[in-house]
Chain A
């Protein structure tokens, strides 16, 4: 069993800059974090302060209504008897009727309270206390602990015998709670919803929880400070230690209270002296830091080397048909092909042109073109006609 427990400094109440002594961390504050357990128990335990409500027992039924039955051209719903008023003949009793009772009227004997196993309740408290000593969780819950010297914050016992609120506030501020207290004061707002008319007019945030061992005036000194709550170590309430079911309330311990935790909860091996039959919560994993475990030499030295991902081959493409693949294999192929294609084409063209020129030279028409032939024929005909005309004229004379 490791006795290497971290050690917590106790800060002097009068002069919070100096540390008076150190106390080893009680085992209870090293419990595993169990937000699931805390939430479950919080939802159940918070039901225990409820007061029964219901609609009135007779509501909706305080009429002598009777159904008119069939044959009267009206629906068969029970109707208010009598006459002389609007109410007469109106539907009654049913949840669908105006002025009727509700469906399944709420009863006071609804099961308002929940019982929770004592061990579970204790585990939840212990887990919530452990969470309160972790700055990330306390910050995440929204407490302003930037100025606080250390978590868990333990103050010397003289805090317990403060009687004046003014001095208590001063001490809290010296400890580093100024921002926190201010946050609570700034957050006072009128409640949204009907609660404001039901004597729950204002809401504000929760501030630090001061846990003491012996009340020598501290409760009365602190009870009027907005946001600050006090609790005796021996009677810690989950609803205070984990408000809303969330882990990480900002807790200020007195030295006596901090030391009392050892007596109350003991260690993992011993039971809890002041809680009969209770043993502290054990973690599922002693060392929850998985990253560290994986990166440790013990693990790394035994691992095989990392496998390379199998090489994926694309579908084979035929170089003879696919220009880009051919170009990849033989960059000169494209040029060669172009040259091949260009050479015969050019030669053919030249040959064609030459042949055509030859042909034209050989078969020069000269005077024998179509047009010239045509015109000759026309002119010949025109000449003939002209001649015929002259002959005819001569013949007449």
Chain B
């Protein structure tokens, strides 16, 4: 039986260098996602704890904001996130994924790829499908990603709360 999620591909430099035998010996960083998760799970700068709540995590790549290896934005092989981003006056919906190239994992700036999502639900959900379903990217999060997309869209429709003062207008 398969275990999910699978690991990042070998860094490019390895593939480029002379391969010994059928598979180049994996002399890569000690960067196994599980190992990093173990180092980071109890103690990191993004942990947010409050009483009677599950432990949450504030890192930018975390779909649910929960501190768990499944959703982690720092210690996961493949990162997935959908959130809103304010660019100037407008708010956009942004999809975050890990870059396909293994070498990018060493570059903090380009470790993670952000693409915008259309705000039209039909198109936006189709985009998510294209990345996840067709691209076989984190299928275990597909349903949650779509749900979050809808929630983010819903959050854009802000109703102005009119507070009627009891004192005024009598």
Is B39 in the interface zone, CB < 8 Å from A? yes
**Chain B residues bordering chain A, tally (CB within 8 A):** 45
Q: In the bound complex, what is the Cα–Cα distance between A3 and B17 (angstroms)?
A: 9
Q: Is the CB of B109 within 8 A of A30?
A: no
Q: Is the CB of B30 within 8 A of A149?
A: no
In the complex with contacts A136-B75, A146-B109, A149-B109, A289-B33 CB distance below 8 A: yes
User: Which residues of B sit under 8 angstroms from A151, Cβ to Cβ?
Assistant: 106-108
Q: Is the CB of B106 within 8 A of A294?
A: no
Q: Is the CB of A291 within 8 A of B111?
A: no
Binding-face segment, B42-50, B86-94, B126-134: B42-50
User: Which residues of A sit under 8 angstroms from B4, Cβ to Cβ?
Assistant: 291
User: Which residues of B sit under 8 angstroms from A306, Cβ to Cβ?
Assistant: 1
**Chain A residues bordering chain B, tally (CB within 8 A):** 48
Q: In the bound complex, what is the Cα–Cα distance between A95 and B33 (angstroms)?
A: 55
- 1/0 per residue, CB under 8 A from B, across A11-49: the answer is 000000000000000000011110100000000000000
Q: Is the CB of A139 within 8 A of B26?
A: no
A29: nearest chain-B partner, CB-CB:
B29
B27: nearest chain-A partner, CB-CB:
A2
Q: Is the CB of B6 within 8 A of A134?
A: no
Tell me whether chain A's interface is mostly helix, strand or loop, or mixed: loop
Tell me whether chain B's interface is mostly helix, strand or loop, or mixed: loop
Q: Is the CB of A4 within 8 A of B14?
A: yes
Q: What is the minimal beta-carbon distance from A307 to any residue of chain B, in angstroms? A: 10
Contacting residue for A295 out of B6, B34, B44, CB 8 A: B6
Is B105 in the interface zone, CB < 8 Å from A? yes
Is A137 in the interface zone, CB < 8 Å from B? yes
Q: What is the minimal beta-carbon distance from A130 to any residue of chain B, in angstroms? A: 6
Q: In the bound complex, what is the Cα–Cα distance between A31 and B28 (angstroms)?
A: 10
Q: What is the minimal beta-carbon distance from A119 to any residue of chain B, in angstroms? A: 19
Is A60 in the interface zone, CB < 8 Å from B? no
Is A176 in the interface zone, CB < 8 Å from B? yes
Q: Is the CB of A295 within 8 A of B31?
A: no
Is A292 in the interface zone, CB < 8 Å from B? yes
Contacting residue for B17 out of A4, A150, A286, A291, CB 8 A: A4
Contacting residue for A130 out of B30, B46, B77, CB 8 A: B30
Is A375 in the interface zone, CB < 8 Å from B? no
Q: Is the CB of A283 within 8 A of B3?
A: no
Q: What is the minimal beta-carbon distance from A289 to any residue of chain B, in angstroms? A: 4
In the complex with contacts A32-B30, A290-B32, A295-B3 CB distance below 8 A: yes
Which interface residue of B19, B20, B36, B105 has the most chain A CB atoms within 10 A?
A: B36
**Given A5-B13, A141-B45, A287-B32, 18 additional A-B pairs, CB 8 A:** A2-B27, A4-B20, A6-B103, A30-B28, A31-B30, A33-B39, A130-B29, A139-B59, A139-B74, A140-B39, A141-B44, A146-B108, A146-B109, A150-B106, A151-B107, A283-B30, A288-B32, A291-B34
